[in-house]
Structure 1
Amino acid sequence: MNLIFDGHNDVLLRLWRSRKDGTDPVMEFTKGTSVGHIDGPRAKAGGLAGGLCAIYIPSPHDFSLKEPDAQGHYVTPLDPPLERQWSLDIALEMASIAQRLDRAGAWRLCRSTADIRKAMAEGVFAAVLHMEGCEAIDTDLDVLETFHASGLRSLGPVWSRNNIFGHGVPFAYPMSPDTGPGLTDAGVALVKRCNELGILIDLAHITEKGFWDVAGITDQPLIASHSNVHALTPVARNLTDKQLDAIRDSRGLVGLNYAVTMLRPDARDSADTPVSAMVQHIDYLVERMGIDCVAIGSDFDGATIPADIADAAGNQKLVEALKAAGYGGEDLDKICRENWLRVLASAWHE
């Protein structure tokens, strides 16, 4: 079995919601559940050895993709900006769940690639704390220091909504990622401080202008943790060839997103999407950027994924499809985990 380190999941969001409904998140993760995509038993069954686990502040109202028109096109309005204190409360609650899982031995919070490798060798899920959208962070960045001390080692300045640090892309098809402004002055300061602290910057949801703003100031490889190929699926969330070239030139990476809306040529939200579509995006990324710049960023617990994968237990179906497409040995190891460990080591100053 090829062990996988996954660049993005929303399991903390699911566990936070379960806790609100009265379920113990530690028990749900360790004993397993039929809900969502990731828990301990399903991760072990599918070789999911660890990943970046997101603190993501959900919309206070119902947020869903806009229905496509007769041509299959859609533009979902950006989610409104969020209030910071409310966001901070939720972010702390999710961080608390991550710490409880760590104390219970359900997973291990990792702060270095040595921590990740040790956890994987011992069969313990290697969790890295990520923040998807920095609504909980203040412009003075004091809260950033606190989260870093608690294990935060990766963040995306924005989700697909605007905040004090920058602008996000909408969920829209067909549409360029060049949808608005990029980083604010506060966003520039955030990137620079993350460089100093050794916190990975994730470009998965930012506008194209924001992408280039980060590229101009960061000392890290360029990372899009859960994004796909715009030339194959022209949604605003996917990456143009020019962006892929910049990621390649920085020795960064793109993590394949399992979200069907970012895999299908028609961008429809249908689980009836073949695994071959995932391989097609991998092939394109490898041809454009090289094998060292391609990885996995599933978006488990945050999106509709192909029915043939279903959940974390189905990861090896993608691995088998990649083997059938000619990937093997060291190349498959790079896609599954080694490329992530390389860029994390770089961003974390190891």
Structure 2
Amino acid sequence: MLPVIDGHNDTLLAATSDRAGGEFLREPDDPDGHLDLARAEEAGLAAGVFAMFVPNEGELDWNELPPAVDGERARRVVDEQFATLHDWADATDRFLVVRDIDALDACIDGTAVGGVPHIEGAAAVSPDLVNLEALYETGLRSLGLVWSRPNAFAHGVPFEHDATPDIGPGLTDAGFDLVEACEGMGIVVDLAHLNAAGFWDVAETVDAPLVVSHAGAHGISPSSRNLTDDQLDAIADSGGIVGCTFGTAHLRPDGQRGKDASLSTLLDHVEYFADRMGVEHVGLGADFDGASIPEAVGDVRGLRDVLAGLEARGYDRTEREAIAYGNWRRVLAAWWN
């Protein structure tokens, strides 16, 4: 069974809120949510990028950009989610917080399921970066500049279909400082949810591979969250990676969130990325516990069906290994080393 590195999940949010799927360490008879330790082991999940995310308070109008969140509240929420991640690792030797490539390799070899600490949306980072080193010492190894809302560093994209990511201005001065600091420290800069101007600002700033943890192909599903061909070309030129999302709203050509999207709908995006960029720039970024995913996948155990679907489409074992874990391993090593 091929090990898998998945580029994004929101299971920490489920564990610290009233969402389904919050009991990561349970041994469930009737599981809810998409991801827990037992099912991860069954699926061959070697490691996942575990996002710390600060939800907006109150109801959102999904036709507009969500409002920014308060930095002080963001830091409290992130601290709580970081503590939860470490609590899981302290409770069992079957789960490991991944801070370096040696730990990731141990997870690929089957020692434990690994969790790479990630913050989705940098509101918890002080605009003067005074707490960035402390976050690194706590384990932060990947940082999404934005979720789909603005902050002190950059601007996100709304959840719009038949729309372009070319919305709004690029990085702020603080954003450029944050990107440079992350590259220097070895914290992956994740461009998911970032608008086009911010994407190109990062592309012109870093020497490291460009990373988009979870997105679809704009050429199939023209969502503002998805990546245009020009962006895909830049990612490939940098030696970077796109984690193909499993979120149906960004897979379906019609932009609907219905779970009745077929497995082929997901595989079409993987194949689009591979044809445009080369297999070596494609990974998986499921967005477990953070999005509506196809019923044909169901939960983390559906990773096996995704890989089987790629085999049926003619991807050989070497290509499937690259998509399953090899490409993520290469890109994370490039940033961390």
1:45 alignment partner in structure 2:
42
Distance 2:144 2:208 in 1: 13
2:191 alignment partner in structure 1:
203
- Would you say the 8 A contact 2:216–2:269 is kept in 1? yes
2:10 alignment partner in structure 1:
10
Given the alignment of the two structures, is residue 97 of structure 1 paired with residue 110 of structure 2, yes or no? Answer: no
How far apart are residue 271 of structure 1 and its match?
0.2
* 1:200-349 equivalences in 2 (<5 Å): 200-349=188-337
Please give the secondary structure, in 2, of the residue aligned with 1:142: coil
Please give the secondary structure, in 2, of the residue aligned with 1:226: strand
How far apart are residue 123 of structure 1 and its match?
4.1
Count of matched residue positions in the alignment of Structure 1 and Structure 2:
335
How far apart are residue 62 of structure 1 and its match?
2.3
Distance 1:293 1:251 in 2: 7
Given the alignment of the two structures, is residue 187 of structure 1 paired with residue 175 of structure 2, yes or no? Answer: yes
Give the aligned residue type for 2:91: A
Distance 1:47 1:160 in 2: 31
How far apart are residue 63 of structure 1 and its match?
3.2
- Would you say the 8 A contact 1:8–1:300 is kept in 2? yes
1:73 alignment partner in structure 2:
none
Please give the secondary structure, in 2, of the residue aligned with 1:335: helix
Query: Which structure 1 residue ranges, 5 or more long, are not aligned?
Result: 66-75
- Would you say the 8 A contact 2:46–2:110 is kept in 1? no
How far apart are residue 147 of structure 1 and its match?
1.0
Given the alignment of the two structures, is residue 55 of structure 1 paired with residue 43 of structure 2, yes or no? Answer: no
Please give the secondary structure, in 2, of the residue aligned with 1:271: coil
Q: 1:28 to 1:112 in 2, by over 3 A?
A: closer
Distance 2:222 2:25 in 1: 35
Coordinate RMSD, CA, aligned: 1.6
Please give the secondary structure, in 1, of the residue aligned with 2:38: helix
How far apart are residue 150 of structure 1 and its match?
0.9
- After TM superposition, the score normalised by the length of structure 2 is 0.96
Please give the secondary structure, in 1, of the residue aligned with 2:160: strand
- Would you say the 8 A contact 2:243–2:283 is kept in 1? yes
Distance 1:118 1:229 in 2: 32
Query: Which structure 2 residue ranges, 5 or more long, are not aligned?
Result: none
Residue identity (%): 39
How far apart are residue 119 of structure 1 and its match?
2.5
Give the aligned residue type for 1:124: A
- Would you say the 8 A contact 2:24–2:35 is kept in 1? no
Give the aligned residue type for 2:87: R
Give the aligned residue type for 1:165: F
- Would you say the 8 A contact 1:88–1:136 is kept in 2? yes
Please give the secondary structure, in 1, of the residue aligned with 2:48: strand
Distance 2:108 2:236 in 1: 27
Distance 1:185 1:85 in 2: 21
1:68 alignment partner in structure 2:
none
- After TM superposition, the score normalised by the length of structure 1 is 0.93
